[in-house]
Structure 1
Amino acid sequence: MINFLLAVQQAISLFINSSISVIKVLFLSKFSVRKVRAGSPYCGVLGNGPSLKTSLQKDLAFIKKLELFAVNLFSVTPEYIELKPKNYLILDMSFLNPAHSCQDGLKAMANLTTWEMNLYVPYQMLKSAFFVSQFRANPNIRLIPYNYTIVTGYRWLAYWFFRRGLGMPQCQNVLVATLFYAINMGFKEIYLFGADHSWHEMIKLDENNNMVVSDSHFYQHKDIDIAVKENSYMSQQLFSLHKAFYGYEVLGKYAKSLGIKIYNASAKSYIDVFEKVKVADLPEKR
């Protein structure tokens, strides 16, 4: 009896979530999605975790062979000019805030990009005259909007929206959005670097029982302790981590349905969904 009730509950939940997803797509998504196709069978996604330093030292020759995606503030690093990523994706709405440190990344992109690059942004960002104005003087940067409309429910329905760029999984982290876009571009093999995702190691309580989270990226010289806002408890922090890792589970199944392989080549990573590989052990086929 209990199993029957759980099955009914799950069926109802799937129906409700699917219905909500359809409504969200109809009212929130743009249907004129610009499709970009992969220029190579292989691509690399560069996360900004501290382990990217190690990968760029040990695996640089391999990384340079891949069509690259960069994210967030990679443009403020010397490696941005060296690697010249063909693709760049941002998701955080902080990039719309003129007073936020994210502006350093936009300015670097606008001033340093001397090669053709696709910059993928949520459609909402194109509504900001301030944001769009940052790139008017650089014809090398092509702004390509995408729908960040979260869809859930029946897998077949979610995949139908995914393939057409009308919906996405929840992207608690920008790498989920980037991998999703790389999948839809048609790359056959995707290599992930710098995806440490070791946030749980960074959570601590101070002497007053206040939560503090250390912010750590490969381009920082030292970790920065950030006080978590009041009334934010450990359960909320861990639930956010759950959503981040669950996004990779959704992506793993979606990629598999399309015959696309995602390899986690990060020197350190807690992502367990994708096959873990060492570049030194890969066959010389690329």
Structure 2
Amino acid sequence: MIRNVFYQFLFFLRRFLANYQLSFIANDNKYYRLKNKYKGLECFIVGNGPSLTVEDLNWLKKKNITSFGVNKIHLIYPQTNWRPDFYVCEDIPVLETILDTVNDQKDLIKFLMEVPGINKDEKTIFINRIATEFTGMDFFLEPVPYLFCGQTVIYICLQLAVFMGFKKIYLLGIDFSWNFDDAEPDKEGFSVLKGDSPHFVPDYFKKGEKQYLVTKPHFEYMIRILHYAKEILEKMGIQVFNATRGGKLEVFPRVNIDELKTKGNL
């Protein structure tokens, strides 16, 4: 009991100091420069699913809509001038594979796991996450000392978006359409691909690259924890909509992105 109270006090102190840019932990100060910076605004969280289109990204660019990009989103850069405002990668095997590419992205704020070789600069913020094996559930409104993993980068993005003050969040290109039968785990729990699950490019994972195995229990856990987050966000008055074209994610209410474009609701 005493230990828990002590740790809670330390967490409060870290957040308090970081809120005034006085923390002895530089990473904390970087986080809190963003606290409520986008209060009341809308954003898009852009996934890597097969439904993602260049036209939709060009529209985000044209409308100057704040967005998050994740994982290997850079593979679509040659086709569009759109770039996310924030880049998030908490998948260590993916991050290790694209290390040089991530380091070369200098014009956006990056939220990353701290792995060897990552450049440490003012625009790189390191994620300290709590991960569970498809059982625990939480949603942290403050990124210090931890974010909750949720077994999907989308969960990290949602926590960051709420911390930054966004009140309306749209999901795009988040299909949740994995091929569960096309991979086998190795001894470390990574997948050995027989055939890649669909992404916005056919060679998203190249032969020999490691990735975490997405199993049916993993998928079911992600659905449960997103329902958990939805309840919390609805109580806070934060709206989350799924603007993805198709896919298998039915947790959040659907909106038609073409109607958003034509009606100008943003």
Same fold? TM cut 0.5: yes
Equivalent AA in structure 1 for residue 151 of structure 2: Q
Residue 102, structure 1, aligned to residue 84, structure 2: no
Provide the residue aligned with 2:46 in structure 1: 46
1:111 matches 2:98: no
**Aligned residues of 2:141 and 2:159 also touching (Cα < 8 A):** no
Match of residue 117 from structure 2: 130
Q: 1:274 is matched with which residue?
A: 252
State whether residues 203 and 214 of structure 1, in contact with CA within 8 Å, keep that contact through their aligned partners in structure 2: no
Give per-residue Cα distances to partners, 1:46-100, cap 9 Å, x unaligned. 10011112xx325632464310101111123325861121111110122564xxx
TM value normalised by structure 1: 0.65
Q: Judging changes above 3 Å, is the alpha-carbon distance between structure 1 residues 85 and 212 closer, same or farther for their aligned structure 2 residues?
A: same
> What is the deviation of 1:277?
0.6
Kept in 2: contact 1:87–1:119 (CA 8 A): yes
Q: Match of 2:159?
A: 180
| 1:242 CA drift (Å) | 1.4
Quick one: which amino acid aligns to residue 214 of structure 1?
Answer: D
Shift in Å, 1:215: 2.9
Distance 1:195 1:60, change over 3 A: same
Identity %: 19
Q: CA deviation at 1:257?
A: 2.1
Q: Secondary structure at the match of 2:175?
A: coil
1:285 equivalenced with 2:257 (yes/no): no
Paired AA for residue 243 in structure 1: Y
Residue 218 of structure 2 corresponds to which residue in structure 1? 240
1:63-102 alignment runs, 5 A limit:
64-65=62-63, 66-78=65-77, 82-94=81-93, 97=96, 101-102=97-98
Q: Which has the higher helix share?
A: 1
Contact kept, 8 Å, 1:45 with 1:191, in 2: the verdict is yes
Cα gap change, 1:95 to 1:203, in 2 (>3 Å): closer
Q: Distance in 2 between matches of 1:227 and 1:118?
A: 26
**Which structure has the larger Rg?**
1
User: Partners of 1:148 and 1:86 in 2: how far apart?
Assistant: 21
Hey, what's the Cα distance between the residues in 2 that align with 1:79 and 1:266?
Answer: 22
Q: Unaligned regions of 5+ residues in structure 1, if any?
A: 1-18
Instruction: Tell me the residue number matched to 1:13.
Output: none
CA contact (8 A) 1:212 1:228 kept: no
For residues 172-217 of structure 1, the C-alpha deviation after alignment (integer angstroms, 9 at most, x for no partner) is 1211211221122111111111111111x452599xxx99453322
Q: Residues 64, 249 of structure 1: CA spacing in aligned structure 2 closer, same or farther, 3 A cutoff?
A: farther
| 2:171 maps to 1:192 | yes
CA separation of 1:172/1:112 partners in 2, compared to 1, >3 Å: closer, same or farther?
closer
- Aligned residue for 2:111, secondary structure, equals strand
- Provide the aligned C-alpha RMSD in A: 4.0
How many Å separate the matches in 1 of 2:109 and 2:181?
35
Q: Which amino acid aligns with 1:48?
A: N
TM-score by length of 2: 0.70
Deviation at 1:261, TM superposition (A): 0.6
- The residue matched to 1:52 in structure 2 has which SS? coil
* Structure 2 runs not aligned, ≥5 long: 16-27, 185-191
Contact persistence 2:57–2:82 (CA under 8 A): no
Query: Quick one: which of 143, 154, 160 aligns to 2:124?
Result: 143
Secondary structure of 1:248's match? Answer: helix
Ranked by relative contact order (alpha carbons within 8 Å, sequence separation 6 or more), the top structure is 1
Task: Tell me, yes or no, if the aligned pair for 2:177 and 2:197 is still in contact at 8 Å.
Answer: no
When residues 213 and 242 of structure 1 are mapped into structure 2, their CA distance, relative to the original with a 3 A threshold, is: farther
